[in-house]
Structure 1
Amino acid sequence: MGIDKFLVDEEKVELPKKNYKSKVDDKLKTKFEEEEVKPNSINLLEMEEDKKSSKKVSMSIYFEEDDLKLLKAISKFKNTTVNKTVMSILEGPLETTKSNLPSDFNIDKLAKDYDKTSRNKKARR
């Protein structure tokens, strides 16, 4: 019964005109027009303060002067420190990297090797 409908040319088979592609394209277009944010970008003004505390060690890090001014301004605005601002940026990528490390990746050994070969003599212990 069902296939007979397609074998007989007398009956005209009508397919509903549902243009899902244009609906999806319209939704995507309006969504991307609303948010003109660069991919993989973070708005530092929207970050939340991190209350957890852990053991911290020091390391010098150098910024372009304009970038450091921006980090200081954001930190002042958010009533936090530049270090916390920078760590909030690095937190996500570091966690992702940690969870995707190969099983034979020895963080402690490689960090010690880095300290030995680094120009920073203070890091040697």
Structure 2
Amino acid sequence: MTALTLGIVPSSFVIEHLPHTTLPEDDDWIALVRAPEGLTVVRDAAPWAEAERWTGLYATGHDLDAPGLLASVVAPLAEADVPVFVASTFHGDLVLTPERLRKTAVSALEAAGHRVLP
């Protein structure tokens, strides 16, 4: 396993499902995933008071040809019963975990040999 350095993104996020939608009505989003059942939108949580908030852990500098990097992050989180939502980019992976489980997620990742920066 390759040990990764993950940074905690300073803002919180919300994950929204918009059934029967193919494009958001605004430009206020971080990531979009379009699927047959609708659109999933990841947004900055600042304007959303009632929604569940998610902490973002960002691992950068990975090689697209290196197998298992994302698995090395999500496997310890699964073992610690921490749900995840992942948005991957060309340069890195944004792994979202429920904000209420932030300490558990960080502990699980560090126990697995990863470094988590505040």
For this structure pair, what is the TM-score category when the shorter chain's length is used for normalisation?
under 0.3
**TM-score, L = length of structure 2:** 0.22
Question: Whose helix fraction is larger, Structure 1's or Structure 2's?
Answer: 1
Question: Whose strand fraction is larger, Structure 1's or Structure 2's?
Answer: 2
Does 1 or 2 have the higher relative contact order (CA < 8 Å, sep 6+)? 2
Q: Give 1 or 2 for the bigger CA radius of gyration.
A: 1
